Amino acid sequence: MQDNLKIPAHVAIIMDGNGRWAKAQGKPRTFGHTEGAKRVADVTRAAGELGIKYVTLYAFSTENWSRSAEEVGALMKLFRGYLKTCIKDADENNMRIRVIGDKTALDPDIRESIAYVEEHSAKYDGVTLTLAINYGGRDELTRAVRKIAESVEKGKLTASEITADTISASLDAPDIPDPDLMIRTCGEERISNFLLWELAYSELYFTDVAWPDFGPEELKKAVEAYTRRDRRFGGADE
């Protein structure tokens, strides 16, 4: 815990700007992703030191398949690499790792690595790092609606019994509280299909700093800005 800071329990981050960061240096976009991947461990560790319990990172969206085969391949290679090295990080930092998104479209070896990492780190109760891979908010909600419809078809649930809680419980990580703070790097001020349901009451923080330059100091700045916010949840005093 830090002096006078209000610590969000859950911080979600759109890691944007890898490509622009690389281009500004005359390097290929994939170089930006490689540097960006290095920030994942730094920022997660810093989050743990601040007392943040959950970090969710938007690593690959359902829309990202439309990028060049080279770029998609480079990102998948980075995920493969990260899923190998994160075990050590998890062991040393009491870190639980999870993945949300539609895993069925991922290569079998990546799915196996995810299953192994999730199972191996399930015992840890420090920071929970959730990677959103092949994730889209609309896709997550569509899959949730399908699950609920199946329950209705099987007679386990009636339409009138469906509440917001039913929907929350059908999402990819129903046990993780909604984000308190959502950060997007590199200037754009959009949600871009990230955690559409879960971000309903989150504070939003946008910074011009590109993801490869986003380190522990930048995270602290975001938490300082969050500390100054007066959070409202739609009550009468809003």
Six token digits for residue 214: 């986003």
Single out the catalytic residue among 3, 18, 64, 94. Answer: 64
Single out the catalytic residue among 3, 4, 16, 237. Answer: 16
Q: Which residues contact 15 (CB under 8 A, 6 or more apart)?
A: 36, 39, 40, 57, 58, 59, 185, 211, 214
Task: Output the 3-class SS for 201-225.
Answer: CCEEEECCCCHHHCCHHHHHHHHHH
**Phi-psi domain of 144 (left: phi exceeds 0; alpha: psi -120 through 50; beta: other):** alpha
For ligand FPP, the binding residue among 9, 28, 64, 157 (CB under 6 A) is 64
Place of tokens 């493969």: 80
Compare residues 105 and 169 and give the one whose CB is closer to ligand FPP.
Answer: 105
CA distance 182 to 194: 10
Applying the rule CB under 6 A, the residues between 144 and 203 that interact with ligand FPP are none
Q: How far is the CB of 218 from ligand FPP (least distance, A)?
A: 14
CA distance 80 to 109: 8
Q: Work out whether the CA dihedral 27, 57, 11, 231 comes out positive or negative.
A: positive
For ligand FPP, the binding residue among 13, 43, 53, 82 (CB under 6 A) is 82
Is residue 59 within the footprint of ligand FPP (CB under 6 A)? yes
Helix (H) or strand (E) holding 129: strand 128-135
Q: How far is the CB of 65 from ligand FPP (least distance, A)?
A: 11
Compare residues 64 and 166 and give the one whose CB is closer to ligand FPP.
Answer: 64
125 is catalytic: no
Number of residues that bind ligand FPP (CB under 6 A): 21
Is residue 46 within the footprint of ligand FPP (CB under 6 A)? no
Place of tokens 């800071």: 5
For ligand FPP, the binding residue among 8, 17, 136, 179 (CB under 6 A) is 17
Q: How far is the CB of 164 from ligand FPP (least distance, A)?
A: 30
Span near ligand FPP by CB under 6 A; candidates 13-21, 43-51, 142-150, 191-199: 13-21
C-alpha of 83 from chain center: 15
Residue numbers at the binding site for ligand FPP (CB under 6 A):
15-20, 29, 32-33, 36-37, 40, 57, 59, 64, 75, 78-79, 82, 131, 211
Which residues are tagged catalytic? 16, 64
